[in-house]
Amino acid sequence: MGISAAGQRTDAAFRPSDYDFGMARKRQIVLYPDPVLRRRAKSVERVDDSIRDLVREMFEIMDEEEGIGLAAPQVGESLRIFVTGPHADGTHPHMTYINPVLSGFDGELQAHDEGCLSLPGIRGEIRRQPHAVIEALDVEGKPFRMESGDFIARVWQHEFDHLEGILIIDRMTALDRLRVRRAVKELESGG
């Protein structure tokens, strides 16, 4: 997920090809309209070394792309995993969420501009719950729980949507959807 609040980066100028240093890596960012982005991801049955390898690669890719969140379907793996990165202000360390469950929604929906690494050049206002509770497993398979009324609650909701096959273009206002229609069509026809 990319954010355009003051002092924070946007995704629009970032393309995976800009960051190809020729390193041997199995995975790369999957762009819309790849069908893996529309699938409901499967639960992780066992948190083992293959999962930890995937998570490590997701962190590498997210950091190179300067994203603040990345879900496994975005690197072609239809599994219920996402990672989040540090905020621009240095808060929130790298975190891994395996088989996450979101709850604790209270309060009025709040709109904020969002982008997505799988939808380069596309941004729009998305209304989300301002507060959330997340329960998930960490990379060691240990359950944890976090609560936030902060920006990270929005990131969780964005990344969780990826595990359900939901993208920001599904949640935009009709007006924003119209505004990004051409960019979406270009992605659909292969950029």
Binding site for Co ion (CB under 5 A): 1, 116
User: Distance of CA 174 to CAs 9, 30, 114, 129, 158, Å?
Assistant: 25, 25, 15, 19, 19
- 3-state DSSP helix/strand/coil percent for the chain, to nearest 5? 30, 25, 45
Pair 68, 151: CB distance under 8 Å: no
Beta strands in 7-119 (DSSP E): 69-71, 81-84, 95-103, 110-115
The CB-nearest residue to Co ion is 116
Q: Measured from the CB of residue 142, what is the shortest distance to Co ion in angstroms?
A: 26
Active site residue 188: no
Which lies closer to Co ion via its Cβ, residue 44 or residue 114? 114
Which lies closer to Co ion via its Cβ, residue 1 or residue 172? 1
Residue from 159, 164, 186, 188 carrying the catalytic annotation = 159
Which lies closer to Co ion via its Cβ, residue 1 or residue 132? 1
Pair 62, 74: CB distance under 8 Å: no
Q: Measured from the CB of residue 146, what is the shortest distance to Co ion in angstroms?
A: 20
Using the Cα atoms of residue 167, residue 89, residue 96 and residue 131 in order, give the sign of their dihedral.
negative
Which lies closer to Co ion via its Cβ, residue 116 or residue 152? 116
Q: Measured from the CB of residue 36, what is the shortest distance to Co ion in angstroms?
A: 13
Cα-Cα-Cα-Cα torsion 85, 87, 90, 92, nearest 10 degrees, comes to -60
Q: Measured from the CB of residue 47, what is the shortest distance to Co ion in angstroms?
A: 23
Pair 88, 9: CB distance under 8 Å: yes
Q: How far is CA 119 from the centre of its chain?
A: 11
Q: Which amino acids are annotated catalytic?
A: 159
